[in-house]
């Protein structure tokens, strides 16, 4: 297996800072860059982002849906994006939010985490809301191949609380998810490979997020999250926080130098 994802992520943060930048080529942003909303425009956008950022930030996070909407040609661009970003030294976290059971979950795990897959990534996002046990194929594959999994726990969308804040024996659904992540990360050093997704704009945080693993925190920048929110919410576990932003950096494009400058500014702000 070699080095774990948690160890590689910790090393990447120490070398490049904690920033995660999303590659989210939605139609409006393609238009802002003067690109066509097709596979050709998608490829130009993605390769520009990789050129600008893959040598700068710790983690790049392509959003799979924005590639999938262009069909087979879009998936081919996603494969190239993942491959070239990793070759340039960035860890690639593919935002796919998969969640299924049995052999289907195992097939998704092979698609994204198996080292020989054409779209092999360092980590993916998954949903635990078919039951935490449904994630076993993803977690087992992550252990086997030295990859990571980020589990949705406390998302900032308005509909999230109806499930995540629901009460179960001993606490909330989200609290149960976080506790099970912590159990899977037990004893890992320097950092577990199973992370949690906790939104920067959730307001208050009453759950225990000391999971001995990374905390992916989307919502920084355009969605309203600030570096001060990160410090306020995560305090003692801030060293494990991976702030994620997309538009705050991508809006500076399409010039490579402008994208790099925006990423550097955001990285400095989140390092304080």
Q: Look up the CATH number of the domain holding residue 167.
A: 3.20.20.70
Q: What is the DSSP letter of 236?
A: G
61 has catalytic annotation: no
Grade residue 7 by pLDDT with cuts at 50, 70 and 90. Answer: very high
Give the pLDDT score at 90: 98
How many domains does the chain divide into? 1
Q: What is the DSSP letter of 133?
A: G
Give the pLDDT score at 26: 95
Give the pLDDT score at 24: 97
Average pLDDT rounded to a whole number, residues 94-99? 97
Give the pLDDT score at 1: 56
Domain that holds residue 238: 5-271
pLDDT in tens, 244-266: 999 999 999 999 999 999 999 99
Give the pLDDT score at 43: 98
Grade residue 224 by pLDDT with cuts at 50, 70 and 90. Answer: confident
Which region among 7-11, 157-161, 218-222 has the lowest average model confidence (pLDDT)? 218-222
Give the pLDDT score at 228: 82
Grade residue 272 by pLDDT with cuts at 50, 70 and 90. Answer: low
Which of the residues 16, 26, 83, 97 is marked catalytic? Answer: 97
Q: Is 154 helix (H, G, I), strand (E, B) or coil?
A: strand
Residue 39 has pLDDT above 90, yes or no: yes
Nearest 10 degrees: CA dihedral of 95, 96, 102, 103?
Answer: -110
């Amino acid at each position: 297996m070699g080095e774990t994802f948690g160890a590689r992520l910790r090393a990447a943060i120490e070398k490049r800072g904690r920033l995660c930048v999303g590659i989210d080529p939605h139609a409006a942003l393609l238009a802002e860059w003067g690109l066509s909303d097709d596979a050709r425009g998608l490829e130009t956008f993605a390769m520009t982002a990789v050129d600008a950022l893959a040598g700068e930030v710790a983690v790049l996070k392509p959003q799979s849906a924005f590639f999938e909407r262009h069909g087979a040609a879009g998936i081919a661009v996603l494969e190239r994006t993942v491959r070239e970003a990793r070759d340039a030294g960035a860890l690639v976290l593919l935002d796919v939010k998969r969640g299924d059971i049995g052999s289907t979950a195992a097939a998704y795990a092979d698609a994204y985490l198996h080292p020989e897959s054409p779209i092999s990534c360092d980590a993916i996002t998954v949903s635990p809301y078919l039951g935490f046990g449904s994630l076993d194929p993803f977690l087992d594959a992550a252990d086997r191949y030295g990859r990571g999994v980020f589990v949705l726990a406390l998302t900032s969308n308005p509909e999230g609380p109806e499930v995540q804040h629901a009460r179960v024996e001993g606490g909330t659904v989200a609290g149960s998810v976080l506790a099970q992540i912590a159990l899977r990360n037990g004893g890992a050093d320097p950092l577990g490979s199973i992370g949690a997704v906790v939104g920067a704009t959730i307001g208050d945080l009453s759950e225990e997020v000391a999971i001995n693993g990374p905390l992916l925190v989307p919502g920084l920048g355009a969605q309203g999250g600030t570096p001060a929110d990160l410090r306020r919410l995560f305090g003692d576990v801030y060293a494990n926080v991976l702030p994620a932003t997309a538009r705050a950096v991508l809006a500076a494009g399409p010039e490579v130098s402008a994208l790099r400058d925006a990423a550097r500014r955001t990285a400095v702000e989140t390092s304080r």
